[in-house]
Chain A
Amino acid sequence: MTKFRLTTGIVAAGLALCATSAQAQDLLFWSTQAKPVEETQRMRDDVLSGFDQPVDYQAADEGPWITRIQAETQAGSGSIALLGGLHGDFTSVEGGLVDLDTDLDSANVVPAYAELGKLGGDGQKYVPWMQATYMMAANKQALEFLPEGADLNELTYDQLIQWAGAMAEATGGPKFGLPAGPKGLKHRFFQGYLLPSYTGGVVRTFKSAEAEEAWNKLAELWQFTTPASTNYAFMQEPLLTGEVWVAFDHTARLAEAFNQKPDDFVAFPTPKGPKGRGYMPVIAGMAIPATAPDPEASAALIDYMLSPEAQIATLRATNFFPVVDVDLPDDMPPSVKAAGEVISYTSKSEDSITALLPMGLGDAGGKFNQVYVDMFERTILGGQPIRDALDDQANALDALMKETGAPCWAPDAPSDGPCPVE
Chain B
Amino acid sequence: MTTTTLTDALPAHRKRGRFAMRAAVVALLLWVLVPLWLLAVNTFSSPDAVNGFPKSLVPEFDLGSLSFFAGFQGVSRALLNSAIVALLTMIMSIGLGAPAGYALSRFDFRGKESFRLLVLMTRAFPLPLLALPLAVMFIRVGLDDSLFGLALVHTTLALPFAVLITFSLFSGIPMELEEAAWTLGCTRIGAFHKVVWPLIRPGIAASAVFAFVISWNEVFAASVLTIQNRTLTAFLLQSLDVSPMPLKFAGGFVLVVPALIFIFLVRKYLFAMWGIANR
Contact = CB atoms under 8 A, between A and B. Distances in A.
Our verdict on whether A and B bind, yes or no, reads: yes
A305 B269 CA distance: 55
Interface string A3-26: 001101100110111011001011
B187 interface: no
Contacts of B224: 64, 67-68, 71
B139 interface: yes
Contacts of A17: 146, 148
Contacts of A71: 131-132, 135-136, 139, 224
7 contacts: A15-B80, A15-B84, A16-B84, A20-B228, A41-B72, A241-B52, A256-B244
Given A68-B224, A75-B136, A79-B227, A38 B128 contact: no
B53 interface: yes
Contacts, number: 135
Contact of A233 (B52, B69, B145, B242): B242
A70 B131 CA distance: 11
Interface in B112-139: 128, 131-132, 135-136, 139
Given A37-B239, A37-B243, A79-B227, 11 more contacts: A16-B146, A16-B229, A35-B243, A36-B243, A37-B236, A37-B247, A37-B251, A38-B244, A56-B228, A60-B223, A68-B223
Interface residues of B, number: 49
Interface in B141-159: 144-148, 151
A9 B140 contact: no
Contacts of B148: 13, 16-17
Given A12-B88, A71-B136, A26 B228 contact: yes
Interface of A: 1, 5-6, 8-9, 12-13, 15-17, 19-20, 23, 25-26, 28, 30, 35-38, 40-41, 44-45, 56, 58-61, 63-64, 67-68, 70-72, 74-75, 77-80, 183, 233-234, 236-237, 240-242, 256, 260
From B139, B145, B240, residue with most partner A Cβ within 10 Å: B139
Given A8-B87, A19-B229, A41 B128 contact: no
A58 B148 CA distance: 21
B258 interface: no
Contacts of B223: 60-61, 64, 68
Contacts of A75: 135-136, 139-140
Nearest to B150: A16
A77 B85 CA distance: 24
B241 interface: yes
Interface of B: 47, 51-53, 68-69, 72-73, 80-81, 83-85, 87-88, 90-91, 128, 131-132, 135-136, 139-140, 144-148, 151, 220, 223-224, 227-230, 236, 238-245, 247, 251, 269
A409 to B, nearest CB: 28
Nearest to B87: A12
Contacts of B85: 16
Nearest to B86: A12
B253 to A, nearest CB: 13
Contacts of A59: 239
Contacts of B140: 75
B245 to A, nearest CB: 6
From A19, A20, A241, residue with most partner B Cβ within 10 Å: A20
A41 B269 CA distance: 41
Given A8-B87, A240-B51, A64 B139 contact: no
A38 B247 CA distance: 9
A236 B228 contact: no
B88 A16 contact: yes
A56 B230 CA distance: 11
B138 to A, nearest CB: 8
B183 to A, nearest CB: 27
Contacts of B135: 67-68, 71-72, 75
Contact of B73 (A41, A64, A256): A41
Given A5-B91, A183-B242, A72 B146 contact: no
A23 B47 CA distance: 36
A75 B81 CA distance: 25
B242 A242 contact: no
State the 8 A-B residue pairs at the shortest beta-carbon distance, nearest first. Answer: A71-B135, A75-B139, A16-B147, A64-B223, A36-B243, A35-B239, A240-B51, A9-B91
Contacts of B87: 8-9, 12
Contacts of A70: 132
Contacts of A78: 139
Contacts of B139: 71-72, 75, 77-78
Contacts of B220: 63-64
B238 A61 contact: yes
A13 B88 contact: yes
Contacts of A6: 91
